Amino acid sequence: MPWEKTFDLDEATDKAISVFWQKGYEATSISDLVEGMEINKGSLYNAFGSKKALFDRALLRYDQKNRQKSLRELEAMADPALAIAALFDGLIAEAKTDVGNRGCLLVNTALEFPNQSADVQNLVTSALHEFEAFFKRMIVQGQKQGGIPADVDADAAARSMLALVVGLRVLARGTYDAEALRVLKAGAMKLIS
């Protein structure tokens, strides 16, 4: 008799995201996934193939539901400088409510970079480049609108803002409190003033 899936793949993937997010890829065992996803081992392998394939799917879904969605919403704002400020405000708000100090799954994965497969490295690299491109687009648009000085180097400022986002995500995992994170936001905003 062929295997029949009795659960929703997206819901199971969301549960896997939670497990990977809490423990990281390397430290997550199949037993952790089976327990966290509330499915049996056979179903996990039949539906996803392997821990690596499940992680790839989970990381892509996390990126789509979080970073990509947020950047689309921010890019729709009329004022690019306010969009950048809102991004940092959102990250700080997330950090304040992150009870388990999980941080960002993409940034956490970047910290495990040498241990990741080439396709995961490509996904993380692409996501970070897209983040940098978002900042550059906002800076250039803000310069065209007159809200950001024309002498701001859009490339350098975008790279610096990306570094501040990554740093904020790492430091928010329990090292810095919200007030200290706001100092990072202030530094980002000085880059475009």
Q: Where are the domains positioned within the chain?
A: 9-190
Q: Distance (Å, rounded) from C-alpha 144 to C-alpha 138?
A: 10
User: With pLDDT > 70 as the criterion, what percentage of the chain qualifies?
Assistant: 97
The model's pLDDT over 144-164, given as tens digits with 9 standing for 90+, comes to: 999 999 999 999 999 999 999
Contact call for residues 191 and 160 (beta carbons, < 8 A)? yes
Half-sphere exposure of residue 2, counting CA atoms within 13 Å on the CB side?
Answer: 3
CATH number of the structural domain 9-190: 1.10.357.10
Q: What is the pLDDT of residue 136?
A: 98
The answer, yes or no, to whether residue 29 has pLDDT greater than 50, is yes
What pLDDT score does 117 carry?
87
Q: What is the pLDDT of residues 61-116, one digit of tens each?
A: 999 999 999 999 999 999 999 999 999 999 999 999 988 888 899 999 998 888 88
126 CB-side CA count, 13 A = 11
Average pLDDT across the chain, whole number: 92
Per-residue pLDDT, 154: 98
Q: How confident is the model at residue 4 (pLDDT cuts 50, 70, 90)?
A: low
pTM of the predicted structure, to 2 decimals: 0.88
pLDDT digits (tens, 9 = 90+) for 48-58: 999 999 999 99
Q: Is residue 5 scored above 70 in pLDDT? A: no
The pLDDT score that the predictor gives to residue 35 is: 95
- The whole-angstrom separation of Cα 84 and Cα 173 is 21
